[in-house]
Structure 1
């Protein structure tokens, strides 16, 4: 039997998240090869690339010539600039949340992916965790009604210390753009599509509270922060009422394992020519549209 050819993936970015999750997961997956790494700082790429088995590139264009797909692990503004280039070159894309640092940038990313008819997926980590998938599968089908409420919290001290404390884009945009996509996406999946924002409030240094309206009449509330002195992070998503009582109280223990599930499904989508998936660029855009509504309501 002939060996199945591995998907050649180029990694754009070499920061802490790329080193901890993207690179080792791509290198270890049986269906993928880490073909190369590009970073704005070549020294970071040189530190990562050879260890993970990938070549270091000076130009994104040269990396694109040698790969089938690109995984992005860069700040949102950089991702928004580079994804359209990769998609126009016919390369499938593994995206990070948020798609961009602005709604206009996010729309440009999603439009570029759609125009190129390439496969896309987004690293919404919770959605690739077996525990979370089991939790979602236990919920009733269809949008929840007005007799059901949801709640979510993601409270972290990530900007107070640790590997992400020096992240410029996280410091600028805070929890709403970093962990907000995770909880908004999960509430949307659990209760039905978000159709509006009831209210939103931000308090210093970085705590957002907001209420969402869902298609079937359910409502949900969320609190997120990256500047609370808690360790480990406090993560909980819950649904109560007519849909029953469904609570999940932890984030995935191993983001690398979640990325492995993402790669399983991404490789299958590429092999099957399927450009639509539950966490594709359109889904990430939907989540970012909600985030922009929250941000506007909280001003």
Structure 2
């Protein structure tokens, strides 16, 4: 039986405590070995819960593990993930890769040069219903267009009051990677941002052109007072209209499937995956183009 992959967690905020730490600690192929955060008291709380070490520094954490999972803002991830990769560690990254395209290119390039395993937490892609939907679309073909909506009031909640990067960058940087990734996977690689606007309540509308000739329209917001959250994905064309079924797989189960893939990649030496760092870079380029388009309008 393969040995467990020793993983260190960087970040100890709400999302780290709710998703990353329990997911890593409960996975049979992973040994959650250490945690580090800039707020020592937050790291100590996670360390106490899971009976692990609270590292004194990122370098201290790197010395104890085979891989590092990140649950920090994009700008912090871009800096520390480069350090981890240069130390030879495999990485589980949050989306987006970085706060800027230049930082994302540097991180993805460093990962490629080092030959380490990388996965981006595009957790919706790991849900079985998503994999089945995409497999069906690819098997049938003939899709000429698609629509996506993700409308939520998440940033109206006090849970994210201290998440400055989310409030500054809005839905485009937070849920944008998830939505763009799915439409890109469904209809083919995005080749152009046809148009984009950002309105009140952080309401983004954009149209994308795909290499296949298909087009997609996307609407997203994290400041719409809606309950429950509206999440819809669809594709249409010669063979009808296909909608992604509801979110049957909870995010924690999807993260477990991500970890299944990650552990298998580490043991096999495989470094490419549909959701690796190169995928994250592709999505960051699209996000950058959308942001520029809105600035020009």
The answer (yes or no) to whether the contact 1:143–1:191 under 8 Å persists in 2 is: no
State the match for 1:241 in structure 2: 237
Matched, 1:64 2:66: no
Inter-partner Cα distance in structure 1 for 2:285 and 2:84: 23
Matched, 1:39 2:37: yes
Inter-partner Cα distance in structure 2 for 1:196 and 1:96: 24
Inter-partner Cα distance in structure 2 for 1:5 and 1:163: 37
Q: What is the CA deviation profile of residues 144-173 of structure 1, one whole-angstrom value per residue up to 9, with x for unaligned ones? A: 55xx21000111111101422331110110
User: Unpaired segments of 5 or more residues in structure 1?
Assistant: none
Inter-partner Cα distance in structure 1 for 2:84 and 2:169: 25
State the match for 1:26 in structure 2: 24
Q: What is the CA deviation profile of residues 258-284 of structure 1, one whole-angstrom value per residue up to 9, with x for unaligned ones? A: 110001000110111011111000000
SS of 1:176's equivalent in the other structure is helix
State the match for 2:171 in structure 1: 175
Inter-partner Cα distance in structure 2 for 1:124 and 1:188: 13
TM superposition shift of 1:50: 2.1
TM superposition shift of 1:141: 4.2
State the match for 2:206 in structure 1: 210
State the match for 2:98 in structure 1: 100
SS of 1:298's equivalent in the other structure is helix
Which aligned pairs between 1:110-259 and structure 2 lie closer than 5 A? Answer: 110-141=108-139, 144=142, 148-251=144-247, 253-259=249-255
TM superposition shift of 1:205: 2.9
The answer (yes or no) to whether the contact 2:129–2:249 under 8 Å persists in 1 is: no
TM superposition shift of 1:216: 1.1
State the match for 2:11 in structure 1: 13
Which aligned pairs between 1:272-291 and structure 2 lie closer than 5 A? Answer: 272-291=268-287
SS of 2:155's equivalent in the other structure is coil
Question: For the structure 1 residues 167 and 144, does the alpha-carbon distance in structure 2 shift closer, same or farther, using more than 3 Å as the test?
Answer: farther
TM superposition shift of 1:140: 3.1
Inter-partner Cα distance in structure 1 for 2:248 and 2:177: 15
Inter-partner Cα distance in structure 2 for 1:34 and 1:151: 39
Inter-partner Cα distance in structure 2 for 1:161 and 1:178: 15
User: Unpaired segments of 5 or more residues in structure 2?
Assistant: none
TM norm structure 2: 0.96
Inter-partner Cα distance in structure 2 for 1:187 and 1:162: 30
Question: For the structure 1 residues 142 and 81, does the alpha-carbon distance in structure 2 shift closer, same or farther, using more than 3 Å as the test?
Answer: farther
State the match for 1:86 in structure 2: 84
TM superposition shift of 1:133: 1.0
The answer (yes or no) to whether the contact 1:36–1:56 under 8 Å persists in 2 is: yes
The answer (yes or no) to whether the contact 1:121–1:277 under 8 Å persists in 2 is: yes
